[in-house]
Structure 1
Amino acid sequence: SASQSATAAPVQTAVAQKTDSVSITPQAQQIQNVQTKIADMPDIDQKKVDEIKAAIAEGRYKIDPEKLATNIANFENELSDLN
């Protein structure tokens, strides 16, 4: 018999490719949104804080109840908008 060819045919195998995926929970998205908003906020004005502290200590700081109520309501609305 003549010499046989030693060339092997390529073997194809099916290999399942895995893909990585990340799933972000609604809570994680909310935390990310809050972190972004906090990062966008201005820094604390320490001079202003000290002035207000001194005014409170000296009895010069007056609170406008209507303005306070409005600010609290606005804050509550902003919190609900985060959801």
Structure 2
Amino acid sequence: MTPKIDAIGVPASALPTAPGKSSAASPPASSLQASPPQDSVQLTAGARLIQSAQAAVSQAPDTDARRIADLKSAISEGRYSVNPERIASGLMRSQLELASP
């Protein structure tokens, strides 16, 4: 009769040995314990630059509250004027930038 193999995770010293073989041939389980693996990562200069840019952006406010207050004031007082040529020029410039390879 063949023994069932289901000793996954059981230390070798706790497993039965074959008849006529001694467990003294294998080193003790305490000497087989490996040290934990040491992982290391080295960032490139570009990755460090991106990391510092992300940190700067995360600390910046999402909106410029003063600019928003100034625009609201200008609109409510009728001082805000729309320049359609400037808007069209900006749209064309952004389209050209997106279309260029």
**TM-score using structure 2 length:** 0.34
